Amino acid sequence: MQPLKHKNFINGEYVESSSGEEFLDINPADTDDVLGSFQLSTKEDAKNAISAALEAQEKWAEMPPAERGRILIRASEILDSMKEELVTTLTREEGKTLNDSRVEVNRAVSLFRFYGVLASRIRGESIQSSEPRTHIITVKEPVGVVSVITPWNFPIAIPSWKIAPALACGNTVVFKPASYTPLIGYMLVEALVKAGIPKGVINYVTGSGSTVGLEMITNKNIDAITFTGSLEVGEEIRRLSSTTGKNVRIMLELGGKNPAIILPDADIDKAVEMVARGAFGLTGQVCTATSRAIVLDKIAEEFTRKMVEKARKLKVGNGLREGVDLGPVVGQRELEKVLSYINIGVSEGAKLLTGGRRLTGEEYDKGYFVEPTVFSDVTPDMRIAREEIFGPVLSIMTASSFDEAIEIANSVDYGLAASIFTKSLDKAFEFMSKIRAGVVKINKPTIGIEIQVPFGGYKKSSSETFRELGEAVMDFYTKIKTIYIGY
Residues designated as active site: 253, 287
Q: Find the binding residues for ligand NAP in span 181-240 (CB under 6 A).
A: 208-210, 213-214, 217, 228-230, 233, 236
Q: Which of ligand NAP, Mg ion, none does residue 45 bind (CB under 5 to 8 Å by kind)? A: none
CA–CA separation, 299 vs 265, rounded Å? 9
Residue nearer to ligand NAP on the CB measure, 236 or 267? 236
User: Across the beta sheet with 126-128, what order do the strands follow?
Assistant: 126-128, 134-142, 478-486
Residue 393 engages ligand NAP in binding (rule: CB under 6 A):
no
Give the residue closest to ligand NAP by C-beta: 209
Residue 25 engages Mg ion in binding (rule: CB under 5 A):
yes
Minimum CB separation of residue 357 from ligand NAP in Å reads 23
Q: Which residues pair with 176 in a beta bridge?
A: 149
Neighbours of 438 (CB within 10 A): 22
Residue 180 engages Mg ion in binding (rule: CB under 5 A):
yes
Minimum CB separation of residue 314 from ligand NAP in Å reads 22
Q: Of 92, 96, 140, 176, which lies in the binding site for ligand NAP, with binding defined by CB under 6 A?
A: 176
Minimum CB separation of residue 151 from ligand NAP in Å reads 3
Residue 179 engages ligand NAP in binding (rule: CB under 6 A):
yes
Q: Cα–Cα distances in Å, from 246 out to 70, 282, 330, 475? A: 33, 39, 36, 19
Residue 22 engages Mg ion in binding (rule: CB under 5 A):
no
Residue nearer to ligand NAP on the CB measure, 376 or 461? 461
Residue nearer to ligand NAP on the CB measure, 218 or 443? 218
Minimum CB separation of residue 184 from Mg ion in Å reads 9
Residue 460 engages ligand NAP in binding (rule: CB under 6 A):
no
Q: Which of Mg ion, ligand NAP, none does residue 179 bind (CB under 5 to 8 Å by kind)? A: ligand NAP
Residue nearer to ligand NAP on the CB measure, 187 or 416? 416
- Nearest-5° Cα angle at 467, 461 to 471: 155
Q: Which of Mg ion, ligand NAP, none does residue 303 bind (CB under 5 to 8 Å by kind)? A: none
Residue 149 engages ligand NAP in binding (rule: CB under 6 A):
yes
Closest to 165 in 3D by CA, of 93, 240, 111, 110: 111
Residue 154 engages Mg ion in binding (rule: CB under 5 A):
no
Residue 174 engages ligand NAP in binding (rule: CB under 6 A):
no
Q: Which of ligand NAP, Mg ion, none does residue 445 bind (CB under 5 to 8 Å by kind)? A: none
Could you list the residues that contact Mg ion (CB under 5 A)? 25, 93, 180
Could you list the residues that contact ligand NAP (CB under 6 A)? 149-154, 176, 178-179, 208-210, 213-214, 217, 228-230, 233, 236, 253-256, 287, 388, 390, 416, 461
